[in-house]
Amino acid sequence: MKDYAYLKINLQLFGEKTEPATPKRRQELRQKGQIPRSRELVTAVVLLISFFSMRFLSKFIFGDLIFAVRNSLSFPKDIDSRFTTNEIMLIFLQNLLIFAKILAPILLIVALCVIIMNYVQIGSVLTAKPLMPNLNKINPVEGFKRLFSKNAYVELLKSIFKIGIIGFIIYDYLVDNYRVIPELLNMNVESTMVFIGNTIISVGIRAAAVLLILSVFDYGFQKWNFEKEIRMSKQEIKDEYKLIEGNPQIKSKIKEKQRQLSLRRMMAEVPSADVIITNPTHFAIAVKYEEAVSEAPVVIAKGKDLIAEKIKDTAKKNNVPIVENKPLAQALYKSVEIGQQIPSELYKAVAEVLAYVYSLKDK
């Protein structure tokens, strides 16, 4: 009973995802668009840059806005001429151009910030898989699970915390400037717009700065959570290795089959050899020389121990001469591969053997 319990526990541990994800697994997830990133970090940086841009361009923005307000609220003596279709359309187009002039540089800066921040977080990824239709996204059961998942609760807590922080910042700013608010009734339009604009920009910069600090922690959490979710079990890593490298048993069988085919091809060449040079027990090298084909003799087969015995048996059956020369056999086996010509330093020794063999055949 104890052995069974121990086996059961070990099997559970074996299937538990405790290992870091492999590079192949990471690359597959990256191609699917699953990359650790924080949307809050992008949002915070964009907000901060936007409000700073508004402050930097505030003189131009307020001047254009004041012109737009004056243009819209100024009435000539002949007020009826102000409310014609052409006049209203002209005022609308003028104000539209003013707002486009105000928003264009800010939107351009925001777009650049979004591109830069996303590139910093995820690098360059070109994939259309996140855009592909996924039925699970409209599945009510899966949607219900996501609604009450751990990530949903974390996102809810983050949202509540952010709203609380931003509310406190707005409250704190208004408390410091509450004396100015009643005086707005006595201010002209320009002063009122300047106060409202400065209030929005000041509160926005403070809120964005706090959100930026929080988003840095959020990015760390997202990265930690992503690494935790993509962990793999030891069995998954082994299966992946087998998929990439091939099953070791299958690979060994393939190699064995290749060795057998190579041995058959080599043994088929032995009957055409001019001579078999032996050790005599350990090595056997089959040498062939065709003057019209090669400049030097070629090793067409070689083997050691059992293979050497097969070479010699095949040579005997096909009346191929066998010559014992221990130093030459060892040198040929170690320095020449099958299909290669013998090196120049062995020419003399091999020539003597071939001369002896040719003399036996009266060649």
pLDDT along the chain (363 residues), means of 10: 45 62 77 75 84 80 75 64 72 83 84 81 62 59 63 78 82 77 72 78 85 84 82 78 68 80 86 85 86 83 86 87 86 86 85 84 64
Residue 285 falls inside a structural domain? yes
Residues 49, 156, single domain; the answer is yes
Total of domains in the chain: 2
Residues 109, 168, single domain; the answer is yes
What is residue 133's predicted lDDT score, i.e. its pLDDT?
Answer: 61
Are 305 and 257 in contact, with CB atoms under 8 Å apart?
no
What is residue 125's predicted lDDT score, i.e. its pLDDT?
Answer: 61
Residues 227, 354, single domain; the answer is no
Integer Cα distance of 63 and 67 in angstroms: 6
Are 87 and 81 in contact, with CB atoms under 8 Å apart?
yes
What is residue 6's predicted lDDT score, i.e. its pLDDT?
Answer: 45
Residues 218, 284, single domain; the answer is no
What is residue 179's predicted lDDT score, i.e. its pLDDT?
Answer: 76
Integer Cα distance of 289 and 238 in angstroms: 51
What is residue 11's predicted lDDT score, i.e. its pLDDT?
Answer: 44
Residues 76, 199, single domain; the answer is yes
In 3D space, the residue among 353, 278, 282, 274 whose CA is nearest the CA of residue 321 turns out to be 274
Are 169 and 208 in contact, with CB atoms under 8 Å apart?
no
Residue 11 falls inside a structural domain? no
Residue 168 falls inside a structural domain? yes
Residues 190, 63, single domain; the answer is yes
Average pLDDT of the chain is 77
Q: How many CB atoms lie within 10 A of CB 101?
A: 12
Residue 174 falls inside a structural domain? yes
What is residue 225's predicted lDDT score, i.e. its pLDDT?
Answer: 82
Can you tell me whether residue 34 is helix, strand or coil?
Answer: coil
Residue 90 falls inside a structural domain? yes
Residues 84, 215, single domain; the answer is yes
Residues 53, 187, single domain; the answer is yes
Domain ranges, residue 339 = 256-360
Q: What separation, in Å, do the N-terminal and C-terminal C-alpha atoms of the chain show?
A: 82
Residues 190, 267, single domain; the answer is no
Residues 290, 209, single domain; the answer is no
In 3D space, the residue among 47, 35, 34 whose CA is nearest the CA of residue 162 turns out to be 47
Are 17 and 231 in contact, with CB atoms under 8 Å apart?
yes
Integer Cα distance of 155 and 230 in angstroms: 20
Integer Cα distance of 28 and 30 in angstroms: 5
Residue 7 falls inside a structural domain? no
Residues 223, 105, single domain; the answer is yes
What is residue 2's predicted lDDT score, i.e. its pLDDT?
Answer: 44
**The two structure tokens encoding residue 171:** 């409250």
Residues 325, 275, single domain; the answer is yes
In 3D space, the residue among 273, 264, 318 whose CA is nearest the CA of residue 300 turns out to be 273
Residue 199 falls inside a structural domain? yes
CATH number, domain at 356?
3.40.1690.10
Integer Cα distance of 308 and 313 in angstroms: 9
Residue 166 falls inside a structural domain? yes
